[in-house]
Amino acid sequence: MDIAEEHVANITIVEVKGPLNSNTAKKLGDRLSSLIEEGRTRLIIDLEHVSYISSVGLRVLMVADQLVEKANGKLALCKLSAETQALFELADFADLFEICSSREQGLIKLA
């Protein structure tokens, strides 16, 4: 898995590429925790290039969302594939996250 970051004003966009599973979730979780500890509490996580998300990957996103909420920040997910969106809905996670169709929509929601 590759993780890229972009900063737009006070919002950090985290782009994830590859599967988000038990082998890769810790890497993403550690990076998100570090960002939040650094005060980057407005996060957009771009999942356009995520080919698969396991339950461990979903948990990492939930923990990040909880950490951001405790820090009075905001987190949004964007560019979910149809398969990933269906997984979120099947697991009843769709209502737990701010899900945006694009980075631009995420920037507006988090502004």
Closest CA to 81 of 48, 45, 44: 48
CA 79 to chain centre: 10
Domain boundaries, the chain: 2-110
CA distance 55 to 53: 7
pLDDT at 90: 87
CATH number belonging to domain 2-110: 3.30.750.24
User: Tens of pLDDT along 19-73?
Assistant: 999 999 999 999 999 999 999 999 999 999 998 899 999 999 999 999 999 999 9
φ, ψ dihedrals at 19, nearest 5°? -75, 145
* Cβ neighbourhood burial of 37 (10 Å; 0-12, 13-18, 19+): exposed
pLDDT at 51: 84
